[in-house]
Structure 1
Amino acid sequence: MKKAFLPLWAAACVAAAPLTAQAQTRKPAAKPPVKTVAKPAPKPVVKPAAAAATPARPVAPAPAPTPTSASASAPAPAASAAVAAPAGAFGVGTNVVNLGIGLGNRYGYGTGFLGGSSSVSPALSVSYERGILPLGPGVLGVGAFVGYQGASYDLGSGDKWQYTDIIVTLRGAFHYPFLENLDAYGGVGVGLRHAGVSFEGSNVYDIGSTSGNEVAAGLFVGGRYFFTPGIGAFAELGYDQTYLKIGLSAKF
Structure 2
Amino acid sequence: MKRHIRFVAVAAFLLLSFSQFSASAQVKKGDFLLSPNLGFGYYYAGSGASVTIGVNGEYAFTDEISGGGYLAYTHWKYGYRYGNNKYDYSYNFVDFGARASYHFAKLLRVSNKKFDPYAGAFIGFVTSSYSGDNGVVYNDAYGSELRSGIYAGARYFFQPNIGVFGEVSIGLTPISGGVTFKF
Normalised-by-shorter TM-score class: 0.7 to 0.9
Distance 1:159 1:232 in 2: 42
Q: Which has the higher contact order (CA 8 A, sep 6+)?
A: 2
Please name the residue that 2:129 is paired with: 196
Please name the residue that 1:84 is paired with: none
Amino acid at match of 2:67: V
Give the C-alpha shift of residue 169 in structure 1: 1.8
Structure 2 vs 1, CA of residues 228 and 152 (structure 1 numbering), >3 Å: closer, same or farther? Answer: same
Please name the residue that 2:53 is paired with: 124
Task: Give the one of 149, 170, 186 matched to 2:98.
Answer: 170
Please name the residue that 1:220 is paired with: 151
Distance 1:184 1:149 in 2: 26
More helix by share: 1
Task: Give the one of 120, 131, 156 matched to 1:187.
Answer: 120
Structure 2 vs 1, CA of residues 171 and 209 (structure 1 numbering), >3 Å: closer, same or farther? Answer: closer
Identity across aligned pairs (percent)? 24
Q: Would the aligned equivalents of 1:198 and 1:208 in 2 still touch at CA under 8 Å?
A: no
Please name the residue that 1:139 is paired with: 64
Task: Name which one, 1 or 2, has greater alpha-carbon Rg.
Answer: 1
Task: Give the one of 23, 37, 54 matched to 1:100.
Answer: 37
Structure 2 vs 1, CA of residues 210 and 104 (structure 1 numbering), >3 Å: closer, same or farther? Answer: closer
Please name the residue that 1:58 is paired with: none
Give the C-alpha shift of residue 144 in structure 1: 0.6
Structure 2 vs 1, CA of residues 214 and 248 (structure 1 numbering), >3 Å: closer, same or farther? Answer: same
Which ranges of structure 2 fall in alignment gaps of 5 or more residues?
A: 1-23
Map residues 1-252 of structure 1 onto 2, 5 A cutoff: 89-109=26-46, 118-133=47-62, 138-156=63-81, 157-177=85-105, 178=110, 179-201=112-134, 203=135, 205-207=136-138, 212-252=143-183
Distance 1:251 1:240 in 2: 26
Amino acid at match of 2:168: L
Q: What is the number of equivalent residue pairs in this alignment?
A: 152
Q: Would the aligned equivalents of 2:100 and 2:122 in 1 still touch at CA under 8 Å?
A: yes
Which ranges of structure 1 fall in alignment gaps of 5 or more residues?
A: 1-86, 110-117
Give the C-alpha shift of residue 121 in structure 1: 2.6
The superposition leaves residues 120-146 of structure 1 with CA deviations (integer Å, 9 ceiling, x where unpaired) of 23211111111013xxxx421011111
**Deviant stretches of 4+, over 4 Å:** 208-211
Give the C-alpha shift of residue 184 in structure 1: 1.3
Distance 1:88 1:230 in 2: 7
Amino acid at match of 1:125: G
